[in-house]
Structure 1
């Protein structure tokens, strides 16, 4: 037992009026309880109790110490109640960092639904495509697309995200349709600056072999939605997650290109800093987001 445990045990002895009842509540023997109270008195350098065969009597110092021990006992009870209430009805704020595309097309709606289910919880939603330092920036949960070199993070796979090459019918009418990746050298390729393989390197495969194709174009951006909008307006070819191009492909405003050669597919994870005890509110949000990705998995393939 540490000092705090002995203070709580002393409170229990005085509250019950006997070593035997305190021992029963604590799951100890009388002799063990007596030993711990004696060690407490030795640590404090004062006598707290007068022991007789029939009853216990507090010394003057013991009465003063008991009043403070009551405060300790109440503080412990309050802490336990607070945690219990927190677990049964989550409260507080969560900080969530997500990629722009997932935020725009999926997660914002999921977070809004989640907050309706848990009205005492609020979520700070950060849309950002660069990888933030979760611990340094106080981020509770992040959605990340790509490999995860940071071993201090715990990851849960949400979905595999396929990437597609596409352009608008107007652009293809003016500039022709590439038939093989090498044809892209003659096209205006709108590039993404956070591309894992490099801004101007697009991944393809041929006869089972993967390779990168060096492309170039008039626009590069750290925002793929901006690139999609430029492609929709007929200004070039883009290589993006299928989720971003899905609506355009469905309506015919975009045309998928080089489908037999595209090889880019990246995992999307929910990640959080390593912790022995994952807060319940973080687990609830992560599970809700995972369910949302599962329902929309077809949009990523």
Structure 2
């Protein structure tokens, strides 16, 4: 009869890869460094190959180590998730959920929803990372992320919540100064507020139902890596920008900002919920994902 796989050694190997050293893995696992080293050595002996090249400064995976790294990481993740799921079923929903949200969107739309979630699930600890950077969910140990984007091919599980309209906007004072644009080329007269994290940030692409597509290169007066900065600048008449509707819907309703080129459309972006492809997701993570999914789909700007 064949022996079972050495699951413990595989899990220890995955943790060493994740932490980058035997000592860091031992600390993370609350084991002695010799126990960690022996587990990896046991695995290497069983596989009859070397998994790490050991130098005085760092560990480097061998070709064999690289070949099994993904499987070992999945084994560890599945085991951790399964245990967490079982604990959740026995006890109250508790523990930490770590998630990433775009800065402006998190402040404006997500943060106001969280008090109700905390009332419903008082033992779940929320760790919300606010950043417009496209974070690596696995590297950053995130349970999930909300992203507003035209999603590229991704190895993550992606669930689309809604479309988010992009609008060209400026203040009435700015329009009075530079004129009402009838065509995207007229935006060349305006100073532009440019969101620097966007692809082709200086090239604004519009489409007209009769005239077709047109891309205008704008002259940036101010660049910023978060769109929330643009609102006071817009209201002060500093220029024109392309901005998600949720950031300016109130100001448009009140007449403090004007939408431009209404006969032209901008390709919409979408709000996605992204998660690592792990079928054994802890319940505490799933309840937050479900809560945000339901709440955000009902927003006035959701299309």
Same structural fold, with TM-score higher than 0.5 when normalized by the shorter chain = yes
Cα contact 2:101–2:129 (8 A) shared by 1: yes
Q: Which one of the candidate residues 177, 191, 207 is aligned to 1:205?
A: 207
Q: Which one of the candidate residues 228, 233, 240 is aligned to 2:231?
A: 228
2:169 match: 166
Cα contact 1:160–1:300 (8 A) shared by 2: yes
1:86 match: 88
TM-score normalised per structure 1: 0.69
Report how far residue 81 of structure 1 moved.
9.7
SS of the residue 1:219 aligns to: strand
Name the larger-Rg structure: 1
Report how far residue 3 of structure 1 moved.
8.1
* Alignment of structure 1 residues 1-301 onto 2, 5 Å: 83-87=85-89, 89-196=92-199, 198-206=200-208, 207=210, 209-296=212-299, 298-301=300-303
Report how far residue 188 of structure 1 moved.
0.9
Question: How big is each residue's C-alpha offset from its partner over 1:201-249, in whole Å with a ceiling of 9 and x where there is no partner?
Answer: 1120022733322111310111111112201111111110111110110
Distance 1:81 1:130 in 2: 31
Q: CA RMSD in A?
A: 2.3
Cα contact 1:165–1:262 (8 A) shared by 2: no
Report how far residue 105 of structure 1 moved.
1.4
Q: Structure 1 residues 164, 81: closer, same or farther in 2, change over 3 A?
A: closer
TM-score normalised per structure 2: 0.69
Distance 2:270 2:84 in 1: 38
Cα contact 1:204–1:212 (8 A) shared by 2: yes
Report how far residue 264 of structure 1 moved.
2.3
Cα contact 1:210–1:263 (8 A) shared by 2: no
Distance 2:157 2:112 in 1: 24
